[in-house]
Structure 1
Amino acid sequence: MVRHNNQLPNNLTQLQNLIKRDPASYKEEFHQQLAHFETTLEIFNLNPTQYNKKLDEQAMFLAQVAKCYPSEMKLFPQKIVDILKTHNTILHNDMRLALCKCLILLRNKNYITPFDLLELFFILLKSQDKYLREFLKTHIITDIKNINMKHKDMKFNATLQNFIFSMLRDTDARAAKLSIDILIELYQKNIWNDHKTVNIIADIGCFSKVTKVMVASLKFFLGKDEEEKAVESDSDNEIDPRDTMISNKFNKKTRKREKMVDKVKKVAKKMKKKKQNAPAFNFSALHLINNPQGFAEKLFKQIESSNERFEVKLMSLDVISRLIGLHNLFLFNFYPFLARLLMPHQREVTRILQFAAQAAHELVPPEVIEPVMKAIANNFITERNSTDVMAVGLNAVREICARCPLAIDEDLLRDLVQYKSYKEKSVMMASRSLIQLYRQSMPNLLHKKDRGRPTEATIELKSKKYGEVEVKNYIPGSEVLLNKESVDVIEKVKGKKKSKKNDSDSDEWVDVASSDSDINISTDSESDDEHDTEEEEELDDECNDDDTATVDSSQNNAVNKGNRKILKSKRKIKSIDIEEKINSARDIAMEKIFTDEDFKRIEGAQLKKHISGIKRNRSVIEDETNEPGELVKLSDIENIHKKRKHDKNARLETVLKGREDRDKFGYKDRRKNIHCSKTNREKKKTKNYQMVRHKVKGKIKRSFKDKQIAFRNYLIKQKKMR
């Protein structure tokens, strides 16, 4: 190999290439460049504020060839680190960045430990060079990610977390902000998604004196993590309403059965929707807090004594409300604090209503949440406010009561229910949604006329007292498995004789679904329910007549007493049937291991309980209320049933969209053949007005004198014709 010694000291790129190919042959040139670096470094230390291009090139050259001469390069990384630690604040930006790149190159070749380098880089985050800070942040995240790629180094992670813990307490705002950003990004990338990271952010970040650090920490707890992948259920496990329609073809067609089919389809659709919209734990950071009660109390105390902007206080209130609702915490001072802010003119009042709903849970004592309910009722749900304000107030009450049914007393509930017939649709729908909620949870608080027609599901429903937990030692609906053998016989008969009616063996059951869905409804129970509902309707009508009309009291009392006795006896029979079903379900649960088919049959039986005996009035809302999730959607509170106002561009867009595929405005020639002749009436529309003026004049109503003259002329003309 030919050596060009006279050119190599000035051409470091060529020398670097030659050393990597043959380190032993160019060892002398390497030592020469190392000596040059030592000399240049001494000169640089005399004036570290100036950018030294020669030092930059020599440092990068030595970092590139360090692997070829490991013994000679042991002390080289420490010299670079000493420069950055000593002259950090006065170094030129380009010089500082070049030395950092040199250290990263040495780190990739394992000449410096990752902790020593990351510790130095965290110190360099205090520099005023914005580009350098972003560069270091990217490297820190990438390096920690690569270290934990194959397996998590717990010792390294714990040491580095403790160091970042101290950096968050640093007085330098830039270093603290970048440290919290690094922690949050590592959590979101599932690198440091453990309890320690979350609690560092909670204990230090949320209570930092630097507002940017506090806001970033609060946003971390309010932001969404990656959603859990939902496992799609097989189509065989779903109830298909088409089976109901098919099986209905072979049954006796009555109006009642047609209504039953429609209700089966609606309830099956809603149950499927609930399965698909199962609540996912998207806010897992809040679940990992070690002491949620202490964290919430400390955060609330900070709000009361802080002078931060209103937006920052709202974020803190949001985090507290989520913690209370998620962990069922007790923070009694939180509710009066919210009640003071609940005024229609308050900025972001819908979000404050959302926080009140999120902070409600079943263990909150009713007297504690009472100030919030009174503030909403007195300040929002009054006719002196606009209808939008009233609707928002009713929606907020509904969301609070969905999570804490005992939050409202019977008198206030019945007052709010009176808006069900309000003239404005938004208020009316909000009030009816409140009725629908309590029909499913505590119907005894509603007036009798607002409870709706009872179903088997509502009969089984028990109103809970404060702190009461209902623990069942059986699977509801499993009593239907007792009749499996009889149903199998019916299915065999149906397979042989589809077009014929059921035999006497199948008189007990009428299949309203195929074998896939197994929704079975008894005709006997249908007839009983029909008679019950008809008799109850008659009783209600008679009771209403007693309240409104003045009829003979003795006759009405006799009729009412008789009807009440019949209903009481039937209710006793129903309560006995329910006890028998519970006992049978308990026995089955103890003796049998349920299969997938059994669970499908149980689900069908539970669906039937929501359908049988239902006869709703038109005035009652038909949409079932969804079960409350972990968090309250702001759209549920702001849900106003009317067209929202658009700006001019949005209105113009809807107008132009409506004109698409529409005929041109004006006269439409409706002749099938455009070449055929027109009638005189059609021709008259295109004629000049002067040509048809005399005919138009004839349409004007004549006076009595004109009629006399015309009649006289007519008689004269008739006389002459004779």
Structure 2
Amino acid sequence: MTETLNASRPDVTGKLPQLQNMVKRDPIGYHIEFKMQQRHFESEYQLFLLQPTKESAHFGALVSFLSHVAKCYPVEMASFPGQILELLRNNYLVLEPELRKTLVQSLMLLRNRGLMDATTLLKLFFELFRCPDKRLRELLYKHIVSDICQLNAASRNLKVNKAIQNYLFEMLQDESEHAAIKSLQVLMELFKRKIWHDQRTVNVIATACTSKNTKLLVMALSFFLGIDDDILEDEEQQKKEKRALVAVDFHAHSKKTKKRQRDTLQALYKNKRARKRDLDFMVTFPAIELLNDPQGVAERQLKLLKSCTERFEVKLLMMNFIGRILGFHTLVVLPFYPLLQRYLQSHQQNVTATLAYLVQSCHDKIPPEELLPIVKSIAHNFVTERCSSEVIAVGINSLRELFRRIPLLLECDGMDVLVSDLVQYNRARDKTIVMAARGVLNLIRDIHPVLLKRKDRGKFHNDTVKPHRFGEFVASEGVDGADLLAEAEAAGRFDDEDNKDGWEVASIASDKNGSENEWVDISSDEEYNTCGTGMAKAKNVEEENVEVLAIQQKDRLDARRILTPLDFERIEMLRKERDAALKDPKSRSKRKAEEDAAKASSDATKVNPTDLEGYSKKKRLTQEERLRAVLKGPFHDD
């Protein structure tokens, strides 16, 4: 009987793929064949340790077979992952590429089936980044990112994250360029996916901004300058995907078929999980905002910029990074501005970008005397008759943005002459120059109209407006513009249902009688003063007359409820409408709400070089360019 069973059983001893299929179907029935292959692997393993550089396709096939069936025999295969792990750790540089890839894929399979610890395996994979094998590094990178995302899918695995982060941060200082670059890419990708979206990750990436490796330096700088835009694009893409989801059809299983009912329940479950992910809202901040020591980062980057011998594009990245930090955190690093002044020449490469980085680094905390040489340099090198119209427009627009950020520059000596010269360009023939000059004219009307001639000040501008003194701060009582919102709501401009989510503030009585609008007696400070010559003399001191102050309790909107983000958006819109109406009541209807919303939502610290170029006249196309446009078609995306 036994011989009959053995005769009907196929001989798959020498065919590992077929044996693998049989073992998965019947692990108990093929246990003998499995043990035979396991003993074969042990002997091959010992021989391979003696000659790790030898090509062995059969050994790789054995490893692949055992990794696929390891889940069927967890007890017998308990030591198998450790053997492959040690083999790779000790010989990964001398192994044959195909065999090395097979071993790595086997470990990935064991990890996906829960037969290996994530921390141990990921540490090995970080070490394998040193391999001079590009395809293997890409494979490792994808698995590491995917595995860490999977570990943090349900909740933050703080223990594993900390262990992996500590090892990953050490890899950034590794001597191997490939290992450092790939480790940095892992950090950047996990930050972008909001898995490691914390201060620790950002500050470790910031250490690469001063690296001696140019590739590492450029990657870190590009991360800080573009990661926020990348995250915003990903969020927009996710919103589009959500809108593209087909709504659940509850009547799809009206025939009571199990398949249709199962599909409907799966769609409901998917939508429920999507709503749950939306509720798990995590506040995100710009990467530059999460720097622990922005002043130190800016100073170290400036020191590296001064001694940098790299190509000019790398220097521009450093200038952009320093300027963004100074503008965002309102820092004062005065040596940065004389360094930029050397590149402010009309013939300089990418001079528009340099001007943009200069503008975005300026704020009202900088002494105006420090920027006066730069203003003169821009005026002498850009706003002259020998320059082209495009160069003059860039210079005027740059000066306008400097005046906007530092109004005290207009109080310096000789600025009245410069302003007068800039306004004179309002009568130029070129439209680009005229629009730039009008921008300066409108700005001076708002912040310092005394510098203008009476005919240039305009009709609806306050002639008494002047910039605040350096360091002067005007404190406001309450929220500026809350009265405008109250008037608009009272007039019925905004729907009351929009504010149903607002938080009402409960009124708390100041005393048991609850008299809020009555006179309040406030004693002078001298009533509490005591004499230091003894208790006897203190008793003879007569009390001062109590000064009675009338405190008017205003029923302000911001005192009655906590304003929501929607309220602040409306206040900003109403303030702009009020300012526009004060300037010119006749033209207020011509101002578009889209332009105001775009200006309000834009990042004030980030300056686009194209914004300084201003208006550009559409040039006449050549015959070749027109023919190329015709061939592309009207709906072609460049």
| Structure 2 residue identity aligned to 1:23 | P
Change (3 A) 1:403 1:282: farther
Change (3 A) 1:388 1:216: same
Match of 1:15 in 2: 19
Describe the superposition over 1:466-485 as per-residue Cα deviations: whole angstroms up to 9, x where unpaired. 22222221555666799999
Contact 2:361 2:605 in 1 (8 A): no
CA–CA separation in structure 1 for the residues paired with 2:319 and 2:572: 43
Task: Say which of 614, 620, 623 aligns to 2:584.
Answer: 614
CA–CA separation in structure 2 for the residues paired with 1:291 and 1:105: 42
CA–CA separation in structure 1 for the residues paired with 2:577 and 2:552: 19
Task: Say which of 186, 206, 209 aligns to 2:209.
Answer: 206
CA–CA separation in structure 1 for the residues paired with 2:129 and 2:376: 51
Contact 1:51 1:94 in 2 (8 A): no
Equivalent position SS for 1:39: helix
TM superposition shift of 1:40: 1.3
Describe the superposition over 1:131-174 as per-residue Cα deviations: whole angstroms up to 9, x where unpaired. 11111111111111111111111121111111111111111111
Q: Which residues in structure 2 correspond to 1:240-251 (within 5 Å)?
A: none
Which deviates the most, 286-295 or 627-636?
627-636
TM superposition shift of 1:351: 0.4
Which deviates the most, 98-107 or 221-230?
221-230
CA–CA separation in structure 1 for the residues paired with 2:85 and 2:563: 67
Change (3 A) 1:82 1:476: closer
Contact 2:407 2:447 in 1 (8 A): yes
Q: Which residues in structure 2 correspond to 1:72-151 (within 5 Å)?
A: 72-151=76-155
Contact 2:202 2:287 in 1 (8 A): yes
Describe the superposition over 1:538-560 as per-residue Cα deviations: whole angstroms up to 9, x where unpaired. xxxxxxxxxxxxxxxxxxxxxxx
Match of 1:702 in 2: none
Describe the superposition over 1:343-363 as per-residue Cα deviations: whole angstroms up to 9, x where unpaired. 001111000000111111111
Describe the superposition over 1:19-53 as per-residue Cα deviations: whole angstroms up to 9, x where unpaired. 33333333222221111001112222333223212
CA–CA separation in structure 2 for the residues paired with 1:375 and 1:643: 30
Task: Say which of 218, 221, 230 aligns to 2:221.
Answer: 218
CA–CA separation in structure 2 for the residues paired with 1:112 and 1:598: 53
Contact 1:358 1:631 in 2 (8 A): yes
TM superposition shift of 1:386: 1.7
| Structure 2 residue identity aligned to 1:449 | K
Larger-Rg structure: 1
Match of 1:406 in 2: 408
| Structure 2 residue identity aligned to 1:417 | V
Q: Which residues in structure 2 correspond to 1:40-59 (within 5 Å)?
A: 40-59=44-63
CA–CA separation in structure 1 for the residues paired with 2:488 and 2:310: 66
CA–CA separation in structure 2 for the residues paired with 1:67 and 1:342: 67
TM superposition shift of 1:316: 0.7
| Structure 2 residue identity aligned to 1:372 | I
TM superposition shift of 1:584: 10
Whether 1:446 aligns to 2:458 is no
Tell me the percent identity: 38
Which deviates the most, 219-228 or 79-88?
219-228
| Structure 2 residue identity aligned to 1:207 | T
Describe the superposition over 1:238-264 as per-residue Cα deviations: whole angstroms up to 9, x where unpaired. xxxxxxxxxxxxxxxxxxxxxxxxxxx
Q: Which residues in structure 2 correspond to 1:585-596 (within 5 Å)?
A: 588=556
Scaled by the length of structure 1, the TM-score of the pair is 0.64
Q: Which runs of 5+ in 2 are unaligned?
A: 237-282, 496-550, 633-638
Q: Which residues in structure 2 correspond to 1:621-636 (within 5 Å)?
A: 629-636=604-611
Match of 1:310 in 2: 312
Q: Which residues in structure 2 correspond to 1:455-494 (within 5 Å)?
A: 458=462, 463-474=467-478
Change (3 A) 1:654 1:595: same
Contact 1:321 1:358 in 2 (8 A): yes
CA–CA separation in structure 2 for the residues paired with 1:151 and 1:78: 28
Match of 2:524 in 1: none
Change (3 A) 1:126 1:595: closer
Describe the superposition over 1:522-549 as per-residue Cα deviations: whole angstroms up to 9, x where unpaired. xxxxxxxxxxxxxxxxxxxxxxxxxxxx
Q: Which runs of 5+ in 1 are unaligned?
A: 231-280, 489-514, 519-582, 658-722
Change (3 A) 1:598 1:423: closer
Match of 1:415 in 2: 421
Aligned pair count reads 510
Q: Kindly indicate whether structure 1 or structure 2 has the higher relative contact order, using CA contacts under 8 Å at least 6 residues apart.
A: 1
Taking only aligned residues, the RMSD between alpha carbons, in angstroms, comes to: 3.6
Which deviates the most, 139-148 or 590-599?
590-599
Equivalent position SS for 1:80: helix
Change (3 A) 1:477 1:169: closer
Change (3 A) 1:478 1:200: closer
CA–CA separation in structure 2 for the residues paired with 1:57 and 1:480: 77
Which deviates the most, 287-296 or 382-391?
382-391
Match of 1:710 in 2: none
Contact 2:423 2:440 in 1 (8 A): yes
CA–CA separation in structure 2 for the residues paired with 1:89 and 1:333: 47
TM superposition shift of 1:193: 1.4
Contact 1:292 1:323 in 2 (8 A): yes
